[in-house]
Amino acid sequence: MKRVFTEEEMIRGIQKGGSALEEVLVFIYHYSPYRQSILQFIQKRMGSREDAEDIFQEGISRMVISIQKGKFEGKSTLRTYLTTICKNLWFTQYTRSNRYANIIEQIPVEEKFEMGPDEELLLKERSEGLQKILAQVGEKCKKILSLWALHYSMREITQEVGYKSEGMTRKKKHQCFKALMNKIKEQPDLIKELLG
Amino acid sequence: MLMSKEIYFDRIESYVEGTNSAEEKREFENDLEENPDLQEEYQAYLATKKAIDEFVKEEILAKLDEIAQRKPVPEVKVLGLTRRTWAMAAGVLILIGALMFLYGHQEYSDDRLFAKQYERPSWDSNRGDQPTNSTYDKAISSLQNNEVEEAADQLSKVGRDDEAYNVALYVMAHLQLQADAGEEAVETFNALKQQNDKRYQENVDWFLALAYLKVGEESMVDQQINTILQNEQHPYYQDALTLRSRLQSFWRRF
């Protein structure tokens, strides 16, 4: 039977990460009213179903990262926060494409979560540079480090990647981190960019 | 150099993860200010952590894709325990209780059990070898003509020294039972019991039980039933078992 989460429980689950995060994602995706209202909002504003799904997922990922990094201050409800992220993402997308310039709306911003176009472009370029580096450390390393960054426990990571023991996972994570660090050290400019 | 960098890494990791003691933390911060190699490693560590943070989005999106493929579990409606829900539940329970009470009251009341177990005797058979033209015989004639009051009046006039006295008591007690005069029936059956007439002893055991049932004296009913159940050959043995079972029924509690 599905579990029902309060907003506080969702925030705690996201902060905790790992399986708690996944439970919250399942709830948000399948059982909360968030998805339906956001999909409707985008579809009513010339978005296709695919556009709406992409924006919704992108919005959730940004919300999760913001919460895990402590950027969500709780000034608005989680629902308002996610909805505002998704609305801004959608307006940014169609403003860029200039297809629906006549339907831009002003959205009140209670939380700092959104980047300006320049900042986003910079991030995109940096992300592409990082992807190249990550491609060199391998998919398995990428998976382990991503899960670790999402606060999955060593036991959960072990299950996900199919290693035999947590000790092996811990050792592999250590190796992956150092391998990535060595690649990054080869690009002093990237270090400066990353550290702002 | 390689060894020192390995040591740096471990120290940095402990510092960043917050697993250092306060003293180790102070020591690390002091070294960081003075040691350029450590600074370089520390910057690289932080940049790597930041880099990883930036690509977790991909992992979240992958998770969401996976979640999107899963079919949602059908929703099981759980009523919130609001005051309204409690009130509705209480209402339903009260209704069920009331229906059980009504059912128990109707089907297992003393009167209903009496009606289920009482069989009217055939007066013809009682008449049998009784003397004719007696008061008793007239009473039976009246009964056959449905003149119940007349019959009762005639039966009451049968004297103690009349050989039809015991049978007159027996018929009278039945008339009283049929007329819902339970207390009088108890009295009459007890009077007949005192006569120690073996012809009526077993019938009196049973009908006295029913007479007590009629007046609601359940302990006396039990006593009569127990008397009957002591003898498996008693003609009312099965009836007594049935009555006891009905008296102990769950429904009698309502």
Compare all CA atoms of chain A with the CA of B57 and give the residue at the minimum distance: A61
Which of A72, A103, A134 is at the close of a domain? A103
Check whether residue B62 and residue B125 sit in a common domain: no
| Residue contact A65–B57, C-beta within 8 A | yes
Q: What whole-number distance in Å separates Cα of residue B51 and Cα of residue B90?
A: 60
Sequential DSSP letters for B86-101? HHHHHHHHHHHHHHHH
Check whether residue B153 and residue B49 sit in a common domain: no
pLDDT of residue A181: 92
Q: Residue A193: pLDDT band by 50, 70, 90 thresholds?
A: confident
Check whether residue A51 and residue A97 sit in a common domain: yes
Which residues in A lie closer than 8 A to residue B9 (C-beta atoms)? 178
Type of residue found at B203: N
Contacts of B75 (CB under 8 A, 6+ apart): A2, A31
pLDDT of residue A173: 93
pLDDT of residue A1: 47
Check whether residue B227 and residue B120 sit in a common domain: yes
Instruction: For residue B129, tell me if it sits in a domain.
Output: yes
Question: Closest approach of chain A CAs to the CA of B60, in angstroms?
Answer: 6
Check whether residue B135 and residue B207 sit in a common domain: yes
**Residue A49 at interface with chain B, using a CB cutoff of 8 Å:** no
Question: Closest approach of chain A CAs to the CA of B82, in angstroms?
Answer: 17
pLDDT of residue B1: 47
Partner residue opposite B45 with nearest CB, options A61, A148, A181: A181
Number of folded domains that form chain A: 2
* pLDDT above 70 (res A105): no
Instruction: For residue A109, tell me if it sits in a domain.
Output: no
- Residues belonging to chain B: 254
Instruction: For residue A72, tell me if it sits in a domain.
Output: yes
pLDDT of residue A122: 59
pLDDT of residue B4: 62
pLDDT of residue A100: 46
Percentage of chain B exceeding pLDDT 90: 24
pLDDT of residue A154: 93
Question: Closest approach of chain B CAs to the CA of A48, in angstroms?
Answer: 17
Distance of CA B169 to the CA centre of its chain: 43
Give A32-45 pLDDT, tens digit per residue.
Answer: 889 988 998 888 88
Interface residues from chain B to A (CB-CB < 8 Å): 9, 43-61, 63-65, 67-68, 70, 72-73, 75-76
Check whether residue A91 and residue A177 sit in a common domain: no
pLDDT of residue B125: 42
Check whether residue B120 and residue B242 sit in a common domain: yes
Which residues in B lie closer than 8 A to residue A181 (C-beta atoms)? 44-45, 47-48
| Residue contact B57–A61, C-beta within 8 A | yes
How many beta-carbon pairs below 8 A join chains A and B?
99
Question: Closest approach of chain A CAs to the CA of B27, in angstroms?
Answer: 23
pLDDT of residue B133: 64
Check whether residue A96 and residue A123 sit in a common domain: no
Which residues in B lie closer than 8 A to residue A146 (C-beta atoms)? 52, 55-56, 58-59
Question: Closest approach of chain B CAs to the CA of A76, in angstroms?
Answer: 23
Q: Whole domain around residue A171: which residue ranges?
A: 117-195
Which residues in A lie closer than 8 A to residue B75 (C-beta atoms)? 2, 31
Type of residue found at A172: K
Number of folded domains that form chain B: 2
Q: Which of A19, A148, A160, A25 is nearest to B64 (CA)?
A: A25
| Residue contact A146–B52, C-beta within 8 A | yes
Q: What whole-number distance in Å separates Cα of residue B228 and Cα of residue B241?
A: 9
- Contact call for residues A69 and A112 (beta carbons, < 8 A): no
Give A57-83 pLDDT, tens digit per residue.
Answer: 999 999 999 998 888 888 889 999 999
Q: List the single best residue of A56, A57, A130, A131 to mutate versus B (max B Cβ within 10 A).
A: A57
Q: Considering only A52-56, B169-173, B176-180, B247-251, which range has the smallest mean pLDDT?
A: B247-251
Instruction: For residue B88, tell me if it sits in a domain.
Output: no
Which of A54, A76, A103 is at the close of a domain? A103
Which of A58, A73, A103 is at the close of a domain? A103
Give B118-167 pLDDT, tens digit per residue.
Answer: 888 766 645 445 556 688 888 888 888 888 888 889 888 888 888 888 88
Q: Whole domain around residue B52: which residue ranges?
A: 2-69
Q: Considering only A44-48, A171-175, B241-245, which range has the smallest mean pLDDT?
A: A44-48
Region A100-127 average pLDDT: 54
- The enclosing H or E element of B180 equals none
pLDDT of residue A116: 54
Which of B43, B69, B95 is at the close of a domain? B69
